[in-house]
Structure 1
């Protein structure tokens, strides 16, 4: 007779846990939708001097910059030699920040492990920056050009470089791995902790915020950012 009350108690606990998780997910999605719709507008009266880009693979946002300008030469800290191609003729560098375990252990969604997802969601693992070289960049539904001033670009450079971990000599720390996605990319140790509240897209959104560009108040998803940069219909 004692078994039935215990089973009822367990059932209630399980039900409350499930309902709690559902409520949390709904609240998270509601906050993501609402806060991403609040726009922080770009700084007014600035010059269009440097072209940068935002690039998405449908989930993750990269910030794309010219490899060399008067403000900064990215190849000095993200050398071409760290890629399989070792090609020095690239013109652009795309950088994205994210969970290190996800980057290195999940080449495709089918390879995602529950342990990796859990650690990433709750900020329990380290982070990395994925750097990919491109020879050309073409604007499209997944790529937007943003013109910014030299001063704003310098602020963007500072934001991104501060996201890299550095060795005792102040140089970015390359991650020696075979888990690269192609011949033109490499991984680097990063600062910060990835979580549901601070995702790869939050990082990219904050990069735009730091450089005075149109962005979301907060967003964990790429759609929040790209909704601010829709292509105008003719």
Structure 2
């Protein structure tokens, strides 16, 4: 009986470790495959990709003829953002992670397990900026109006909406900044769909360089070195 238990335990460990290695090998290989390697489009609208070293945001104009985000993501839902803030950074992620884990040291086991398994709900994080500075963690992309319309559609569909079609603000004090707010989102975070997977899909949607699939931010930014 003891030998049988040890054999099953060994087989499980081999399977578990093998699955992890396969997962990261796929993540590495698929992220190196470039989609829309040489985008051809009119340079009409500036958007940005921004990372904090872990998480990728898509930055768009707060107001544009194609979309006035301030009508749904109201300045009044932040602590102090106003019309002098001309840019809006948007990111999708695990709701519990966003609201209950201000620092990685605060990460709880149930939050981590929920995020890994896709059992937690998701949220959109919206942050207003007055100005955007380009550097290694923030890259500017020029797209055309058709591509921007596609991007607007992709982002808008990521927000959960009420019966009247309005974005649903999450009332919380777990803000990261004086100019940010959280909103209910569609979908669940998992090991196959992370915040960076969402941002990468946004770039695909608007015809810009992106990874075939990625769970990390670094492969996205490698495309824009």
What is the TM-score when the length of structure 1 is the normalising length?
0.93
Matched with 1:98 is: 93
Matched with 1:74 is: 69
Matched with 2:161 is: 166
Q: How far apart are the structure 1 equivalents of 2:133 and 2:16?
A: 41
> What's the CA shift for 1:70?
1.3
Retained in 2: the 8 A contact 1:43–1:212? Answer: no
Q: Residues 199-218 of structure 1: matches in 2 within 5 Å? A: 199-218=194-213
Q: Which residues of structure 1 form unaligned runs of 5+? A: 1-5
> What's the CA shift for 1:90?
0.5
The structure 1 residue matched to 2:125, chosen from 105, 125, 130, is 130
Retained in 2: the 8 A contact 1:101–1:116? Answer: yes
CA displacement, residues 84-138 of structure 1 (integer Å, 9 cap, x when unaligned): 1143310100000011011111000001111111111111110000001111111
Q: Which residues of structure 2 form unaligned runs of 5+? A: none
Matched with 2:26 is: 31
Matched with 2:109 is: 114
1:152 correspondence with 2:147: yes
Q: How far apart are the structure 2 equivalents of 1:105 and 1:21?
A: 28
CA displacement, residues 52-100 of structure 1 (integer Å, 9 cap, x when unaligned): 0000011110000010111111100001100111433101000000110
> Which SS does the other structure have where 2:67 is aligned?
coil
1:15 correspondence with 2:10: yes
> Which SS does the other structure have where 1:209 is aligned?
helix
Larger Rg computed on CA atoms: 1
Retained in 2: the 8 A contact 1:62–1:204? Answer: yes
Q: Which stretch of the first structure deviates more once superposed, 79-88 or 152-161? A: 79-88
CA RMSD of the aligned region, Å?
A: 1.2
> Which SS does the other structure have where 2:158 is aligned?
coil
Q: How far apart are the structure 1 equivalents of 2:173 and 2:5?
A: 46
Q: How far apart are the structure 1 equivalents of 2:198 and 2:16?
A: 26
The structure 2 residue matched to 1:178, chosen from 173, 188, 194, is 173
Retained in 2: the 8 A contact 1:51–1:146? Answer: yes
Give the total of aligned pairs: 225
> Which SS does the other structure have where 1:18 is aligned?
helix
Matched with 1:142 is: 137
> What's the CA shift for 1:43?
6.5
What is the TM-score when the length of structure 2 is the normalising length?
0.97
Q: How far apart are the structure 2 equivalents of 1:107 and 1:135?
A: 23
> Which SS does the other structure have where 1:29 is aligned?
helix
Retained in 1: the 8 A contact 2:81–2:128? Answer: no
